[in-house]
């Protein structure tokens, strides 16, 4: 077995270091494996202790979103205060990650419906990255194709300059890639009832059960702070 002593000997040989007093000895540190008690593999969320920090950090405020929904009506994200909101960025002609993003979110929608949280406590917002093509009519057809429940899933578009401002405010971007189609990051944002970003998902690792757990964690945290949630405040 080569040890730190031999390593230093090798360095001494190369001239890297010299030791008038000889090669230093090995520190007395155990090399044996020391596994501790069995641990659970699922995330451990302590919902009972208010002193325990949430596993979901406060990443920052959810930027303002004031655009047009698939019915052609004005929509403000602030209207959903009091609910958990999942915000995604897609465009309808995307051949990359967007179809998979929307499809994965329909799975999350079903998980939330099964848990009795859909619409009452959680809503979705999908913002177009290509507003010049994604008119309200196009977004409606897109939503129907995925069986998105438009009662609580808001597909948004608007004047390109305004949409661009919203995209940038979320730290997102969309620009033509090498193939000519729009390139963009894959991020899905979890916003808590007070309008704070609490998690950002990557599509590749987005699992409905994981999102459901995060939503439940946030709702439990909110109720611990202020009691059961009321209906959302309309501003």
Partner 1 sequence: MPATRLLWFLLLGLVPTLASAETCLSPYVKRLDRPESYLYVFCVDADAQDNDFIAVIDVNPDSARYGTLIQTLDLGSKGNETHHWGFTDDRTRIWAGGLLSSRVWIIDVATDPAKPRIEAVLDDIPQKTGLSGPHTYYALPGRMLISFLGAADGGLPAGLAEFTNDGKFIRRIENPKNAPYGYDLAIKPGLNRMVSSSFTPKRNYRKPLAQMDLKDFGSEMVVWDFKARKPLQVGKAGLAPLEVRWSLKPENDYGFTNCALDNSIWRFRGQPDGTYEFKKVAQTGALPADLRQSPDDRYLFVSCFGDNLIQQWDVSDPDQLKLFSTVSPMVQPNMMHLTGDGKRMYVTNSLLSTLDHAGRFYVRLVHVGPDGMKVDPFFNVDLNKLPTGPARGHDMLVN
Residues binding partner 1 (CB under 8 A): 1-4, 6-7, 10-11, 14-19, 24, 26-27, 29-45, 55, 57-60, 96-97, 99-100, 103-104, 145, 171, 173, 177-178, 185-189, 200-205, 210
- The residue among 2 and 73 lying less far from partner 1, judged by its C-beta, is 2
**Quick check: 187 and 104 in contact, CB under 8 A?**
no
**Quick check: 201 and 190 in contact, CB under 8 A?**
yes
Residues facing residue 200 across a β-bridge = 189
| Cα(88)–Cα(65) distance, integer angstroms | 12
- The residue among 69 and 198 lying less far from partner 1, judged by its C-beta, is 198
Residue written as token pair 């809503």: 123
- Minimum CB separation of residue 234 from partner 1 in Å reads 29
> φ, ψ for residue 88 (rounded to 5)?
-125, 165
- Minimum CB separation of residue 2 from partner 1 in Å reads 4
- The residue among 68 and 197 lying less far from partner 1, judged by its C-beta, is 197
- The residue among 116 and 180 lying less far from partner 1, judged by its C-beta, is 180
- Minimum CB separation of residue 158 from partner 1 in Å reads 23
- Minimum CB separation of residue 150 from partner 1 in Å reads 18
- The residue among 72 and 177 lying less far from partner 1, judged by its C-beta, is 177
- The residue among 152 and 188 lying less far from partner 1, judged by its C-beta, is 188
**What's the chain's Rg over C-alpha atoms?**
25
> φ, ψ for residue 84 (rounded to 5)?
-80, 140
- Minimum CB separation of residue 235 from partner 1 in Å reads 25
Q: How far is CA 98 from CA 27, 47, 185, in A?
A: 54, 34, 10
- Minimum CB separation of residue 88 from partner 1 in Å reads 12
- The residue among 79 and 187 lying less far from partner 1, judged by its C-beta, is 187
**Quick check: 102 and 88 in contact, CB under 8 A?**
yes
- Minimum CB separation of residue 68 from partner 1 in Å reads 25
| Cα(231)–Cα(81) distance, integer angstroms | 9
* Alpha-helix runs per DSSP H in the chain: 4-14, 97-114, 136-145, 160-169, 208-226
């Amino acid at each position: 077995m080569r040890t730190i002593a031999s390593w230093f000997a090798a360095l001494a040989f190369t001239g890297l270091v010299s030791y008038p007093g000889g090669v230093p000895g090995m520190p007395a540190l155990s090399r044996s494996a020391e596994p501790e008690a069995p641990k659970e593999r699922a995330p451990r969320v302590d919902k009972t202790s208010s002193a325990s920090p949430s596993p979901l950090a406060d990443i920052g405020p959810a930027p303002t979103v004031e655009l047009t929904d698939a019915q052609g009506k004005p929509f403000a994200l602030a209207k959903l205060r009091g609910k958990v909101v999942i915000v995604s960025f897609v465009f309808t002609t995307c051949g990359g990650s967007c179809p998979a993003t929307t499809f994965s979110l329909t799975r999350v929608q079903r998980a939330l419906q099964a848990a009795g949280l859909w619409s009452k406590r959680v809503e979705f917002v999908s913002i177009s990255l290509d507003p010049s093509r994604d008119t309200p009519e196009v977004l409606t057809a897109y939503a129907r194709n995925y069986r998105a429940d438009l009662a609580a899933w808001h597909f948004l578009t608007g004047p390109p300059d305004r949409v661009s401002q919203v995209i940038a405010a979320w730290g997102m971007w969309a620009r033509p890639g090498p193939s000519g189609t729009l390139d963009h990051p894959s991020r899905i944002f979890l916003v808590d009832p007070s309008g704070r970003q609490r998690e950002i998902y990557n599509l590749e690792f987005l699992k409905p059960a994981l999102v459901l757990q995060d939503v439940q964690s946030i709702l439990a945290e909110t109720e611990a702070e202020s009691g059961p949630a009321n209906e959302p405040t309309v501003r």
